Amino acid sequence: MNVVRLFDPWRSSLCTCPRKYSLHPYTGCSHFCLYCYATSYIGRKPSTPKVKFLERVKGDLEFIEKDAIIEMSSSSDPYPPIEEKLKLTRKTLELLLMRDVRVLITTKSHIVTRDIDLLRKIPSAIMITITTLDDSLAKLIEPEAPPPSLRLKAIRELNVSNIPVGVRVDPIIPSVNDDPYLIAELIEVVKEAGARHIVTATYKAKWDSLSRLSQAIPEIAGKLRELYVHSGVKIHGYMYLTRNKREELLLPVVKTAIKLGLTVATCREGLNSQYFQAPSCDGSHLISLSPRSKININRS
Each residue's pLDDT expressed in tens, for the chain with a length of 300 residues: 689 999 975 578 899 999 999 999 999 999 999 999 999 988 899 999 999 999 999 999 999 999 999 999 988 999 999 999 999 999 999 999 999 999 999 999 999 999 999 999 999 999 999 999 999 999 999 999 999 999 999 999 999 999 999 999 999 999 999 999 999 999 999 999 999 999 999 999 999 999 999 999 999 999 999 999 999 999 989 999 999 999 999 999 999 999 999 999 999 999 999 999 999 999 999 999 998 886 554 433
Strands 4-6 and 21-23 come out as antiparallel
Contact 149, 134 (CB under 8 A): no
In angstroms, the CA 163 to CA 198 distance is 16
Domain ranges of the chain: 4-294
Contact 290, 123 (CB under 8 A): yes
Fold classified for 4-294:
pyruvate-formate lyase- activating enzyme (3.80.30)
Contact 281, 154 (CB under 8 A): no
In angstroms, the CA 166 to CA 199 distance is 8
Could you give the count of Cα atoms lying within 13 Å of 41 in the half-sphere of its Cβ?
10
Nearest to 159 by CA among 195, 123, 189: 195
